[in-house]
């Protein structure tokens, strides 16, 4: 059984904007060295961030088609948890609670 990992949205952004340069974190998932674990909420956040106008203006590679392909590829590689319990809140950054919740679900 491989190690289970939960990636923050910034790792997804980095991997999406540099498709030529393979991000080692995602290469580990592709090679089966780690199992990427996501919640539906985290996957939705990744999509939302990648289609934001401000982000797309900064990174021309984030076309609607590229974003859809990237998110579809990520979802196909990952184990997705549909129901993730809300067990913890980090007061300094409650917007990232869903990332911590996936970790707790493991």
For residue 94 the two structure tokens come to 């409650």
What is the structure's pLDDT at 75? Answer: 95
Q: Where are the domains of the chain?
A: 3-105
For the stretch 59-84, pLDDT in tens is 998 999 999 999 999 999 999 987 76
Residue range 3-105 forms a domain whose CATH class is: alpha beta
Alpha-helix residue ranges (DSSP H) falling in the chain: 9-17, 24-30, 40-51, 53-58, 64-77, 97-105
Query: Is the pLDDT assigned to residue 87 strictly greater than 90?
Result: no
| pTM of full prediction above 0.85 | no
For the stretch 8-60, pLDDT in tens is 888 899 999 986 666 788 888 889 999 998 888 889 999 999 999 999 999 99
């Amino acid at each position: 059984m491989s190690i289970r990992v939960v990636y923050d949205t910034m790792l997804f952004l980095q991997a999406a904007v540099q498709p030529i340069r393979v991000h080692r974190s995602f290469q580990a998932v592709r090679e089966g060295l780690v199992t990427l674990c996501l919640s539906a909420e985290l996957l939705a956040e990744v999509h939302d961030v990648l289609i934001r106008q401000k982000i797309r203006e900064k990174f021309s590679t984030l076309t609607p088609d590229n974003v859809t392909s990237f998110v579809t590829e990520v979802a196909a590689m990952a184990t997705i948890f549909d129901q993730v319990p809300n067990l913890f809140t980090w007061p300094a950054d409650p917007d990232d609670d869903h990332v911590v919740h996936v970790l707790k679900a493991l």
